[in-house]
Structure 1
Amino acid sequence: TFDALMRERSVSRAAARLFLSQPAVSASLNRLREAFDDPLFTRTSHGVVPTARAQALAPQVEAVLGGIAGLLDGGEPFNPGASGRIFRITGSDHASSLVLPALTRRLVELGSAIRIVWEPPRTWPLAERLYKGELDLAVVARIRRPQDLEARVLYQDHYVYAMRKDHPRAAEPVTLDSFCAVPQVFLGYGTSMLDDMIDEALALGGRQRLAQVAVTSFGQIVHQLRHSDHAAVLGNRVAQAHARDLAILALPLELPRYESLVCWHARAGADPGIQWLRDAVLETFGLPPAGEAGAAGEAGV
């Protein structure tokens, strides 16, 4: 409870993190307050704030929890059927649609009590959250592989231009002029290398596209495309998953291909549970475990 409150700074979010009710977390906090004779966390309008005593305890608690985890592992192979561990993965809604069904079917078949928390990508530094153990894995799309993380390629793909099938411009060749004229919807606009590349390429020719709607999921993008005259730049695999509703067209400018990656921090690479989770994700894509020879990531190309 202490560690969850330190990370989340909210009783409700800490409860969600621990798969507990808010009253259970509050009761646990009250016991901690009695044990340490300190409030530990004080309430504010935005959640809870740790006291000076809690701040001093935090590194020690983190070290103790890490030591306990190591003792429980004990060098033994991870047994997902006997584990009740909580794993945290970040990735887009498209990535979750590829990973979660097969992964959760496997957990059910094993009779496992493992719980999965899937978080959408955000603007925080990914490597930092993986290093701190706030996340266990990331399933992300990148034009360039991260240098501060371990990664394996799940697949490579290219970008396309998409709009609803009955869009007024769906039957026309896509030109730079039409690309800039049609309003576009973006995934996390302003925080992606893809958007920067597109805008820089257009700027070299004195052009600028109409960036109109920024959203946080591919599901939102597709819904917007289906119900408006907007267009979007999407990964081909994402667009093909919705090919019944979308016209999928070639882009009027050259963009590099991207890779879908499963990433983890080197510090967690020796964790048998994270190893199992990583390899389970790789298996979902028909790829060998990361530790096997020849599994250095190119199998997913």
Structure 2
Amino acid sequence: MNLSGHNLALLASLNTLLEECNVTRAAEKLNISQPALSAQLARLRDLFEDQLLIPAQSGRGMVRTPLGSHLREPLRRALQTLEEVVAQQPEFDPARAHRTFTLGANDNAAAIIAPRLIKLTRDAGWHHIRFAFIAPQTNRLQSQLETGEIDIALTSRDAVPGAQQLPLVDEAFQLAQRKGHPRGNEPLTLESYASLEHILVSGQGGGFRGFIDDLLADQGLARRVGVSVQFYSLVPLILQNSDLVCTLPARFLSRYHEVLDSFPLPFDVRHFSLYATWHRRFDDDAAHRWLRAQLQASVAA
């Protein structure tokens, strides 16, 4: 018998028919009409090339053929097993699981999340949980999330159309400069900010204009971006050895407070935000839910 198409549903009907030996009672139990069930029985007889059930000589109900009797118990057990498989929700126990989670993140997002996430899981004794942080490929990120190549990407808001998102970080940008910078430690003005030579972190690499340049242009000002880098980790090294400045997230700068000074910006600007981004097909996956909870806990710590 070919189990493709609608035949699995037919087997469920056959199971009830073999139990009840009565089309009327079986139809009531299955919540379908008697003619519909009779049509299914006819289809089953064709598939099995056997009558399966025949009218009883007493005129009341039906009796099973030898094949029908042979099928009754194995079919019941098989359908029960199938029901258990479908009903069972897989659990995730981080204390026993051997699992590698892959997170797509640039170096700044990874630096914010990774240390706390790893400390959190290791302090809990979850030593068989592994994390791989990889640079996401912007043009492939949607498919990487859909296939599970990347479990969660750490991105800005709405970076992946149609993806699920969970906010993790929302904080202000600040201007950073080396300690002992000739500008001094005076509060910034729009004019003094624009007069400085800046470093720009360009996610795609090679860019010399960002959203702050658009904001300054609205004020009739322009800044000079002298250096463009693709990686946040390069910025503190350049700042420490030059008079350039850079606008960066406050949480990133907090790691370099011993060698860099930071100042509030002299204009209103949107905050730096970081979101956990994933494909909706993993919404109810137990392991994925656990990972999302750990990401939330790691930024709250």
Normalising to structure 2: TM-score of the pair? 0.61
**Distance change (3 Å), C-alpha of 1:125 and 1:231:** farther
Greater radius of gyration (CA): 2
Structure-2 residue corresponding to 1:273 = 287
Structure-2 residue corresponding to 1:250 = 264
Distance 2:213 2:204 in 1: 10
Q: Is the 8 A contact 1:158 1:257 kept in 2?
A: yes
- Post-superposition offset of 1:207: 2.8
Structure-2 residue corresponding to 1:34 = none
Larger mean Cα displacement after TM superposition, 124-133 or 178-187: 124-133
Gaps of 5+ in 1: 1-70, 288-301
1:85 and 2:115 correspond? no
Distance 2:256 2:156 in 1: 18
Give 1:131's aligned amino acid: E
Q: 2:144 aligns with which of 106, 129, 136?
A: 129
**Distance change (3 Å), C-alpha of 1:230 and 1:189:** farther
Q: 2:297 aligns with which of 270, 283, 294?
A: 283
1:237 and 2:251 correspond? yes
**Distance change (3 Å), C-alpha of 1:125 and 1:158:** farther
**Distance change (3 Å), C-alpha of 1:158 and 1:271:** same
The correspondence of residues 155-166 of structure 1 with structure 2, limited to 5 A, is 155-166=169-180
- Post-superposition offset of 1:276: 1.4
Distance 1:123 1:232 in 2: 24
The correspondence of residues 1-301 of structure 1 with structure 2, limited to 5 A, is 75-108=89-122, 109-110=124-125, 112-124=127-139, 126-142=141-157, 148-188=162-202, 196-286=210-300
SS at match of 1:82: coil
Distance 2:249 2:217 in 1: 22
What per-residue deviation string (whole Å, max 9, x for no partner) do you get for residues 34-76 of structure 1?
A: xxxxxxxxxxxxxxxxxxxxxxxxxxxxxxxxxxxxx9xx632
**Distance change (3 Å), C-alpha of 1:173 and 1:145:** same
- Post-superposition offset of 1:225: 1.0
SS at match of 1:80: coil
What per-residue deviation string (whole Å, max 9, x for no partner) do you get for residues 147-199 of structure 1?
A: 622222223211111111211113244233332332211222668xxx64211
**Distance change (3 Å), C-alpha of 1:101 and 1:168:** same
Distance 1:276 1:113 in 2: 14
**Distance change (3 Å), C-alpha of 1:174 and 1:102:** closer
- Post-superposition offset of 1:88: 0.9
Distance 1:207 1:83 in 2: 56
What per-residue deviation string (whole Å, max 9, x for no partner) do you get for residues 78-112 of structure 1?
A: 12233333211022334333432343345445354
Distance 2:193 2:115 in 1: 36
Distance 1:155 1:111 in 2: 25
Distance 1:266 1:104 in 2: 25
Distance 2:140 2:178 in 1: 34
**Distance change (3 Å), C-alpha of 1:213 and 1:189:** farther
